């Protein structure tokens, strides 16, 4: 029969293996997205950047207010800000990256910095999930 000590160590090894696999799968997906999607590729990401911009200006976006931040003069399919209904906490976390990388003058650099913040938040979510599963 198995001893309690050996079964505990097997569970711990399995947990670490699953944590590493989750981390690698997530990181691989993030790298694939960053390599295959250039900055401002999707209107969804563009409106996320606009949401962060509007928060940095001291106000929440409104649906009919449209996008205020359009540094590349892109044509949006609709003149609305469809991300406005999302809670602002996720976007508030990105405001420092937006401001520190001077996204107003260097929008591409800002998008890469905000993608990095999203990746770090995802890794933290994996770690928190792993911790809560252990408890």
Among 110, 98, 107, 116, CA closest to 52: 98
pLDDT computed for residue 39 by the predictor: 81
Which residues touch 18 (CB under 8 Å, ≥6 apart)? Answer: 130
The 3 state secondary structure assigned to 4-67 is HHHHHHHHHHHHHHHHHHHHHHHHHHHHHHHHHCCCCCCHHHHHHHHHHHHHHCCCCCCHHHCC
pLDDT computed for residue 92 by the predictor: 93
The predicted model scores a pTM of: 0.78
Tens digits of pLDDT across the chain (135 residues): 556 666 778 888 888 999 999 999 999 999 998 889 888 777 778 888 888 999 999 998 888 888 888 887 777 777 888 777 788 888 999 999 999 999 888 988 988 999 999 999 999 999 999 888 877
């Amino acid at each position: 029969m198995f001893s309690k000590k050996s079964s505990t160590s097997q569970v711990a090894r399995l947990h670490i293996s699953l944590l590493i696999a989750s981390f690698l799968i997530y990181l691989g997906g993030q790298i694939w997205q960053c390599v295959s999607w250039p900055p401002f590729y999707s209107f969804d990401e563009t409106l996320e950047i606009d949401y962060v911009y509007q928060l940095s200006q001291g106000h929440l976006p409104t649906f009919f207010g449209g996008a205020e931040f359009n540094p590349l003069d892109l044509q949006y399919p609709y003149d609305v800000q469809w991300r406005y209904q999302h809670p602002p906490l996720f976007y508030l976390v990105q405001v420092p990256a937006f401001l520190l990388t001077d996204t107003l003058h260097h929008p591409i650099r800002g998008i890469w910095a905000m993608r990095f913040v999203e990746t770090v938040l995802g890794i933290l979510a994996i770690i928190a999930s792993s911790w809560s599963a252990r408890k």
